[in-house]
């Protein structure tokens, strides 16, 4: 088969200065990973216990179910104030699977315009109609809700947005969902481990557990391991086991992976000092007066807008030359004109390191 069509598409990416390549860790100061609490960097999780299986040998419905998985689901459901929970291999699988199987033909999905790709892909797999609402705009959400005349309604958002770092107005959204009998689905990927006194997430910090139809918590960020869960009712868990294709047709997480999840949930709720250090660094960043448009948030995710793929890549390269690991976020990942440096703060970053980054940004304008 002639591969010219591949080359054509790759060349388009190169012409847009948006060509992606894999890179290995290079020892630079980490302002880019999602290891917010330093669980991975500091090797805080114990090694797997002897005797744990490295593979699950099948899907949960065939050979891949085991006691540790079910015990962990019960423990995590209790931690997150849910009746039940179901483990998934990744946050992408959880979002795409949930939204691909839950809404039916004749139903409506209303989703935040800045929702993650896994949410959008799940919506595409659904037979429901879908409409976006303006980012974090409850007035626009209500306008969309008033237009739905039949079927079930699902409102989907992230609690902390992965590119802007801002928080969804969950209390107002939950109130609207109550008024319009809509199911609220919240992706807590970037809040788990970080938001709340014990890292339980924004939903629980606001006391909205019972207002949510489903919540997605992922483990590849602050939790420091791999996988995800969907928390909700026992009936939702049964539904997913029966209808969610990524769950039904994927080989299950092995015991070694689930053991790491369980150990992290024993560890990260007690990392109060790490969360306090994060807040100190966030305040330090917010007090800087950078000569750029900035997307300030109360979370570890901060943005510095440098429009244009080429321009933001050049700025990231300058910082990297000075041993500062900062990654550019390019169009089409973000809207054209909103290309940015995505600054990620961590509990292991020092005030001196952050000040060096701020000073470099001041000097490179």
Backbone angles phi, psi at 176, to 5 degrees: -65, -40
Task: Give the Cα separation of 310 and 318 in Å (integer).
Answer: 13
State the catalytic residue, choosing from 136, 162, 264, 349: 162
State the catalytic residue, choosing from 80, 144, 190, 338: 190
Q: What is the CA radius of gyration of the chain?
A: 21
CA within 13 Å, CB half, 298: 8
Q: Is 144 a catalytic residue?
A: no
Task: Give the Cα separation of 197 and 257 in Å (integer).
Answer: 26
Task: Give the Cα separation of 149 and 152 in Å (integer).
Answer: 9
Q: Is 250 a catalytic residue?
A: no
Task: Give the Cα separation of 38 and 236 in Å (integer).
Answer: 33
Pair of tokens at residue 139: 């007035």
C-alpha closest to that of 17 among 278, 282, 298, 311: 311
State the catalytic residue, choosing from 34, 95, 159, 309: 34
State the catalytic residue, choosing from 80, 116, 144, 217: 116
Q: Is 226 a catalytic residue?
A: no
Are residues 323 and 214 in contact, defined by beta-carbon separation less than 8 angstroms? Answer: no
State the catalytic residue, choosing from 80, 144, 217, 221: 221
Q: Is 259 a catalytic residue?
A: no
State the catalytic residue, choosing from 158, 167, 200, 353: 158
Instruction: Return the residue matching tokens 């709340």.
Output: 196
Helix/strand/coil for 219: coil
Are residues 48 and 260 in contact, defined by beta-carbon separation less than 8 angstroms? Answer: yes
Q: Is 323 a catalytic residue?
A: no
Measured between its terminal Cα atoms, the distance across the chain in Å is: 48
State the catalytic residue, choosing from 30, 164, 166, 187: 187
Active site positions, annotated: 34, 116, 158, 162, 187, 190, 221
């Amino acid at each position: 088969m002639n591969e010219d069509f591949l080359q054509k598409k790759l060349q388009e990416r190169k012409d847009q200065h948006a060509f992606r390549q894999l890179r290995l860790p290079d020892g630079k100061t980490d302002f880019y990973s999602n290891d917010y609490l330093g669980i991975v960097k500091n090797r805080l999780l114990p090694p797997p216990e002897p005797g744990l299986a490295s593979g699950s040998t099948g899907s949960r419905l065939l050979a891949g179910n085991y006691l540790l998985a079910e015990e962990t689901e019960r423990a995590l459901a209790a931690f997150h104030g849910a009746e039940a929970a179901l483990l998934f291999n990744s946050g992408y699988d959880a979002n795409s699977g949930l939204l691909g199987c839950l809404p039916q033909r004749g139903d409506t999905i209303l989703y935040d315009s800045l929702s993650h790709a896994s949410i959008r892909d799940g919506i595409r797999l659904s037979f429901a109609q879908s409409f976006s609402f303006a980012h974090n705009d409850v007035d626009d959400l209500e306008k969309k809700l008033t237009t739905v005349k039949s079927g079930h309604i699902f409102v989907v958002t992230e609690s902390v947005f992965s590119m802007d770092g801002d928080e969804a107005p969950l209390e107002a959204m939950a109130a609207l969902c109550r008024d319009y009998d809509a199911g609220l689905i919240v992706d807590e990927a970037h809040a788990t481990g970080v938001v709340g006194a014990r890292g339980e997430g924004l939903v629980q910090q606001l006391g909205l557990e019972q207002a949510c139809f489903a919540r997605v918590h992922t483990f590849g960020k602050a939790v420091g391991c791999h996988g995800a869960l969907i928390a909700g009712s026992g009936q939702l868990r049964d539904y997913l086991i029966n209808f969610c294709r990524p769950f039904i047709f994927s080989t299950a997480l092995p015991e070694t992976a689930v053991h790491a999840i369980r150990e992290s949930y024993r560890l990260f709720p007690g990392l109060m000092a790490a969360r306090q250090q994060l807040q100190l660094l966030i305040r330090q960043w917010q007090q800087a007066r950078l000569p750029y448009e900035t997307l300030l948030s109360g979370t570890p995710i901060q943005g510095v807008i440098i429009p244009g793929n080429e321009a933001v890549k050049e700025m990231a390269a300058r910082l990297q030359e000075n041993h500062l690991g900062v990654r550019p976020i390019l169009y089409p990942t973000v809207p054209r004109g909103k290309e940015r440096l995505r600054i990620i703060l961590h509990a292991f970053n020092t005030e001196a390191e952050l000040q060096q980054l701020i000073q470099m940004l001041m000097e490179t304008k």
